[in-house]
Amino acid sequence: MNGTVEDMRVRYFAWLRQRVGLAEEELEPPTEVRTVGALKAWLGERHPRFAEACAAPGVVRAAVDQEFAEDDRPLAGVREVAFFPPVTGG
Amino acid sequence: MNGTVEDMRVRYFAWLRQRVGLAEEELEPPTEVRTVGALKAWLGERHPRFAEACAAPGVVRAAVDQEFAEDDRPLAGVREVAFFPPVTGG
Amino acid sequence: MTVRIVEGPFDPAAELAGFARGREDVGGIASFTGIVRGEHGGESILAMTLEHYPGMTERQLARIEAEARARWPLLDVLVIHRVGRMLPGEPIVLVATASAHRAAALEACSFLIDWLKTRAPFWKLEETPSGARWVEARASDDAAAARWER
Amino acid sequence: MTVRIVEGPFDPAAELAGFARGREDVGGIASFTGIVRGEHGGESILAMTLEHYPGMTERQLARIEAEARARWPLLDVLVIHRVGRMLPGEPIVLVATASAHRAAALEACSFLIDWLKTRAPFWKLEETPSGARWVEARASDDAAAARWER
């Protein structure tokens, strides 16, 4: 449990999926990417439009293993992380 | 409009109807019976069990011409007065 | 906008199926169905008879319904109340509201049933194994209705 | 207690007809049906597509439903949410609650739809004559959900 993450699936929903141009990808982030916030920054380097969306406060929400998560959520042992805009169902 | 009441219909509902033993009656109260409260007292002389029910506060409600009414409601020109316990519908 | 007193059984689902059908301005429909319970205060209920004051009932329901429409932007309202004798499991009352937005529909539905319970001239007579008894008004119903005073 | 995600049209009236049927302990059933409107913000809506996060959706709905049952004495709960593409006038969501008493049914119904709107991973895409647009989250929905925080 040293923060190492392997074979992580990252998913995107709604307009974030359209901006990134992907519904999901399998990734192996470097060991220094230990939190949701760090993952966002790292993904932003790969996807400039994801970085753009993250720059606006409160717009990009996250879920870790299908539970809502904040930026400080550790990623150790995590298999799936999702990013999406605020929900609008019902 | 001097408070005279003629051919007034008095109706009773629910357990008050059962106590009085009547669903309705046509009455001609004396001219001094000018309000719902006075009518209650006058009817109590005819129906002892009605008087009993009226003695308990808040138990006997009234409607004048099918509108809820308090004891001070004048009876001038009124065609129908109803007495009943608190409502329990829905 | 419909207010109906019915003397026999009615089907809330069928009534709701027709309610606000084909309208594209309705964003939300709220409903409440009151049903005869088989038990009350620890005693079995064999049947329930609803007495009412014909004429005044319709007048009061129309007034309550108009008050709801004055307070919330409702596109449609349906109130059906059964009278006479009915059995456990059978519907007594249906209130439904339609609005562009959910808060109006939900609040108006609560308001309608709260005011109906305290302002419409209905009386319940329960048949139990030990005899018939008139249901007493509940302070909690008065409190629920008072929430909407202003 | 049922939570269902459906990909095609569903009939709220038919679902309600079966809900809590044959139970004699239910005194009240409350329901809310959300429907696709033909207009939003002054523009025509031609269709609406609901995207969701399969797996997380079911998990969140089950959690919201469990929270409602923990807060109110509910005898039954039904939540149906449609996903995919739908047309104006078609139901998106149905929430129904059954309880011995009306306050529990009505409050839990409001709670369920408020929390579903802010805590379940659904996203609405509207098709308008000028193109498709993602619906933005509304502050009023957050405020409605916050009423139930404690």
**Per residue in A59-70, pLDDT tens?**
999 999 999 999
Question: Is residue B58 within a helix (H) or strand (E), and if so which, with residue range?
Answer: none
Residue C139 CA to residue B43 CA, distance in Å, equals 29
The per-residue pLDDT for C67 is 98
φ, ψ dihedrals at A53, nearest 5°:
-65, -40
- Of C41, C42, C28, C46, the C-alpha closest to C107 is C28
Residue C59 maps to which CATH number? 3.90.1170.40
Q: Kindly state whether D141 is in contact with chain C, defined as any CB-CB distance less than 8 angstroms.
A: no
The per-residue pLDDT for C2 is 93
The per-residue pLDDT for B6 is 61
**Measured CA distances, D4 to B89, D47, D85 (Å):** 35, 22, 17
Q: Kindly state whether D85 is in contact with chain C, defined as any CB-CB distance less than 8 angstroms.
A: no
Taking an 8 Å cut-off on Cβ atoms, the answer to whether C52 and B89 are in contact is yes
Among A14, A67, A86, whose Cβ lies nearest the Cβ of D51? A14
The per-residue pLDDT for D25 is 94
Q: Are D27 and C91 in contact (CB under 8 A)?
A: no
Residue C12 CA to residue B75 CA, distance in Å, equals 41
**Per residue in A28-78, pLDDT tens?**
999 999 999 999 999 999 999 999 999 999 899 999 999 999 999 999 999
Q: Are D94 and D78 in contact (CB under 8 A)?
A: yes
Taking an 8 Å cut-off on Cβ atoms, the answer to whether A90 and D120 are in contact is yes
Chains B and A touch (3+ CB pairs under 8 A): no
Q: Kindly state whether C119 is in contact with chain D, defined as any CB-CB distance less than 8 angstroms.
A: no
**% of chain A at pLDDT higher than 90:** 90
Tokens of D70: 């923990």
In this prediction, residue B5 has a pLDDT band, given cuts at 50, 70 and 90, of very low
Tens of pLDDT along chain D (150 residues) come to 899 999 999 999 999 998 978 889 999 999 999 999 999 989 999 999 999 999 999 999 999 999 999 999 999 999 999 999 999 999 999 999 999 999 999 999 999 999 999 999 999 999 999 999 999 999 999 999 999 998
Residue B17 CA to residue B24 CA, distance in Å, equals 8
The per-residue pLDDT for D1 is 82
Residue C57 CA to residue A82 CA, distance in Å, equals 56
The per-residue pLDDT for C23 is 85
Distance from CA of C58 to the nearest CA of D (A): 22
Distance from CA of A46 to the nearest CA of D (A): 23
Angle at alpha carbon of residue B33, lines to B29 and B34, rounded to 5°: 125
pTM of the model: 0.94
Tokens of D33: 């049906």
Q: Are C31 and C106 in contact (CB under 8 A)?
A: no
Quote the number of domains for chain D: 1
The per-residue pLDDT for B1 is 46
Taking an 8 Å cut-off on Cβ atoms, the answer to whether D38 and C32 are in contact is no
Q: Are B72 and B35 in contact (CB under 8 A)?
A: yes
Taking an 8 Å cut-off on Cβ atoms, the answer to whether D29 and C26 are in contact is no
- Contacts with C124 from chain B: Cβ below 8 Å: 88-89
Taking an 8 Å cut-off on Cβ atoms, the answer to whether B13 and C81 are in contact is no
Structural domain for D107, as ranges = 2-146
- Contacts with C135 from chain B: Cβ below 8 Å: 88
> Rounded to the nearest 10 degrees, what angle do helices C102-119 and C139-146 cross at?
140
Residue C91 CA to residue C80 CA, distance in Å, equals 10
- Cβ neighbors of B85 (< 8 A, separation 6 or more) are B13, B14, B15, B16, B59, B60, B61, C123, C134, C137
Count of C-beta atoms within a 10 Å radius of residue D133? 15
Chains A and D touch (3+ CB pairs under 8 A): yes
Residue with tokens 């992380």: A81
Mutate to test the interface with A, among D52, D123, D124, D134 (most CBs of A within 10 A): D123
φ, ψ dihedrals at D123, nearest 5°:
-140, 135
- Of A33, A32, A15, A18, the C-alpha closest to A81 is A33
The per-residue pLDDT for A6 is 61
Helix, coil or strand: residue D34: strand
- Contacts with C50 from chain B: Cβ below 8 Å: 89
Tens of pLDDT along chain C (150 residues) come to 899 999 999 999 999 998 978 889 999 999 999 999 999 989 999 999 999 999 999 999 999 999 999 999 999 999 999 999 999 999 999 999 999 999 999 999 999 999 999 999 999 999 999 999 999 999 999 999 999 998
Taking an 8 Å cut-off on Cβ atoms, the answer to whether B13 and C51 are in contact is yes
Q: Kindly state whether C13 is in contact with chain D, defined as any CB-CB distance less than 8 angstroms.
A: yes
φ, ψ dihedrals at D121, nearest 5°:
-80, 80
**Measured CA distances, D104 to A14, C66, D57 (Å):** 35, 26, 25
Q: Is the pLDDT of residue A5 over 70?
A: no
Average pLDDT score over chain B: 93
- Contacts with D6 from chain A: Cβ below 8 Å: none
Mutate to test the interface with C, among D76, D95, D102 (most CBs of C within 10 A): D102
Interface B-C: count of C-beta contacts within 8 A: 70
Which residue from B minimizes the CA distance to C80? Answer: B90
Mutate to test the interface with B, among C35, C56, C63, C109 (most CBs of B within 10 A): C56
Q: Are C116 and C95 in contact (CB under 8 A)?
A: yes
Neighbours of chain D (3+ CB pairs under 8 A): A, C
The per-residue pLDDT for D84 is 98
**Sign of dihedral through CA atoms B42, B46, B52, B53?**
negative
Angle at alpha carbon of residue C93, lines to C91 and C98, rounded to 5°: 120
Provide the b/e sequence for D67-84 (b: ≥16 CB within 10 Å): bbeeebebbbbbbbbbbe
Taking an 8 Å cut-off on Cβ atoms, the answer to whether C137 and B13 are in contact is no
The per-residue pLDDT for C89 is 96
Strands of B24-27's sheet, edge to edge?
Answer: B24-27, B8-12, B80-84, B61-64, B67-69
Residue A29 CA to residue D79 CA, distance in Å, equals 38
